[in-house]
Amino acid sequence: MPNVFSLQATDGGARRGTLRLSHGIVETPTFMPVGTAATVKALTPDEVRSAHSQIILANTYHLWLRPGRDTIVAAGGLHRFMAWDGPILTDSGGFQVFSLQERRKLDDDGVTFASHIDGSTHRFTPESVIAFQEALGVDIAMVLDVCVKLPASPDDLAESVRMTTAWARRSHQAWRSEQTAVFAIMQGGLDPGLRERSAHEIVELNFPGYAIGGLSVGETRDEMYLAARTCAALLPAEKPRYLMGVGTVRDVIMAVDCGIDMFDCVYPTRCGRNARAMTRNGEYNIRNAAYARDFSPVDPQCDCYVCTTYTRAYLSHLFRSNEMLGPRLLSYHNVYVLNDLMRSAREAIERKKWPAYRDGALSGLD
């Protein structure tokens, strides 16, 4: 597959690029809303698009269990099944499997696990996970990796790197579809030596892109930022860099500063369902009594549909009344905030104004 990424501008560590994928172009840096089970929770595809989302993430583990490969293939692929015509990245399911410690058995060939839904037994191998994602017709497929929750022992981290490299090699050999770009994943926890080893081994395989896994799994924020910066520097400049599982305003701004191009997280829609508003000046719970007669927008600096149409008082009323419109509106707003931050970040990098933009964005947070 030809290179899917072009780097257009840099300012310090921050990067501005373009991803050319089978279902469209993605301008980076970009945030990917998570549609775990082929839906971004509470939002229609049209709403996800109007919130300026360019690419979404779905999950192999969940789609494997429900509705299964045969149903999605019969529907014409994942894009048609969920009525989303833009790019889709699918996580390999490795994080979900390895977070269910009591339900899985790991060996060199793959992992056997029990479904969290009905207890049925399933088997993931690097080859079967790639074949599943290719059958779904996604734009970016992630390799099966071994993720370790931090803190972890040096032996566990080293074993994670060994197996992740071996599985990345097998994934590369199993890759068949020209429609689907396959990204490898770096592991190694907070150990710089293991991170360097992992990066060297997967970069040698020449994947179209690389992800930094094993962060945002128990370490402090400062530890995550330091590791992300270290890891980004170990990856080739001409390939996209993806930091898995980050989605707060502070984290995505800092990740861009570290040289990362892509991010995903359930955080904005989870916050939306739980009355937590994300703004450029921090977060707050809109259920609080202070907002019951507050007729200002959710975020005065936001021009999204929610902020130009409704008030804090109205959304507070919706949540207090358990009306389903409340989670829908706040989820839309939260996703829009992150996408708009990334749009402004791209402009700042192009104009060589990134440090000022970064500092301004961080200074406004609580």
- CA distances to 28, 39, 73, 136 from 76, in Å: 28, 17, 5, 8
**Two tokens, residue 99:** 């977070």
DSSP state of 34: B
Q: Which residue has the tokens 């080859």?
A: 127
- 244 and 305 belong to one structural domain: no
- 195 and 128 belong to one structural domain: yes
Q: How many CB atoms lie within 10 A of CB 294?
A: 17
- 157 and 280 belong to one structural domain: no
User: How far apart are the C-alpha atoms of 210 and 242, rounded to whole Å?
Assistant: 6
For 109-130, the pLDDT digits (tens) are: 999 999 999 999 999 999 999 9
- 148 and 295 belong to one structural domain: no
pLDDT at position 308 over 70: yes
Q: Which of 246, 265, 284 is the endpoint of a domain?
A: 265
Question: Would you place residue 81 in the very low, low, confident or very high pLDDT band (cuts 50, 70, 90)?
Answer: very high
Query: Is residue 270 in a domain?
Result: no
Q: Which of 265, 288, 318 is the endpoint of a domain?
A: 265
The H or E element containing residue 59 is strand 56-59
- 178 and 326 belong to one structural domain: no
Range of the structural domain that residue 89 is part of: 5-265
Query: Is residue 366 in a domain?
Result: no
pLDDT of residue 95: 82
**Side chain identity at 64, as an amino acid letter?**
W
- 247 and 321 belong to one structural domain: no
**Two tokens, residue 255:** 């990740």
Q: Is the separation of the CB atoms in 233 and 208 below 8 Å?
A: no
For 286-296, the pLDDT digits (tens) are: 999 999 999 99
Query: Is residue 363 in a domain?
Result: no
For 150-197, the pLDDT digits (tens) are: 899 999 999 999 999 999 999 999 999 999 999 999 999 999 999 999
Query: Is residue 361 in a domain?
Result: no
- CATH number of the domain at 24, please: 3.20.20.105
pLDDT at position 76 over 70: yes
Query: Is residue 250 in a domain?
Result: yes
The three-state secondary structure class of 133 is: helix
User: How far apart are the C-alpha atoms of 3 and 138, rounded to whole Å?
Assistant: 17
pLDDT at position 218 over 90: no
Query: Is residue 364 in a domain?
Result: no
Q: How many CB atoms lie within 10 A of CB 102?
A: 5
- 95 and 215 belong to one structural domain: yes
User: How far apart are the C-alpha atoms of 276 and 273, rounded to whole Å?
Assistant: 8
User: How far apart are the C-alpha atoms of 229 and 344, rounded to whole Å?
Assistant: 21
**What is the secondary structure of 189-206 as a DSSP string?**
TT-HHHHHHHHHHHHTT-
User: How far apart are the C-alpha atoms of 293 and 278, rounded to whole Å?
Assistant: 19
**Side chain identity at 159, as an amino acid letter?**
E
- 250 and 305 belong to one structural domain: no
For 11-64, the pLDDT digits (tens) are: 999 999 999 999 999 999 999 999 999 999 999 999 999 999 999 999 999 999
For 188-200, the pLDDT digits (tens) are: 999 999 999 999 9
**Two tokens, residue 259:** 């040289």
Query: Is residue 62 in a domain?
Result: yes
**Side chain identity at 215, as an amino acid letter?**
L
If one counts the domains in the chain, the total is 2
Q: What is the set of active-site residues? A: 91, 264
φ/ψ of 313, rounded to 5, equals -60, -40
- 176 and 322 belong to one structural domain: no
Q: Which residues 6+ apart lie within 8 Å of 88 measured at CB?
A: 23, 55, 56, 57, 58, 78, 79, 138, 139, 140
Query: Is residue 298 in a domain?
Result: yes
The H or E element containing residue 349 is helix 325-350
Mean pLDDT of 329-357: 98
The three-state secondary structure class of 43 is: coil
- 138 and 105 belong to one structural domain: yes
pLDDT of residue 44: 98
Q: Which of 265, 290, 313 is the endpoint of a domain?
A: 265
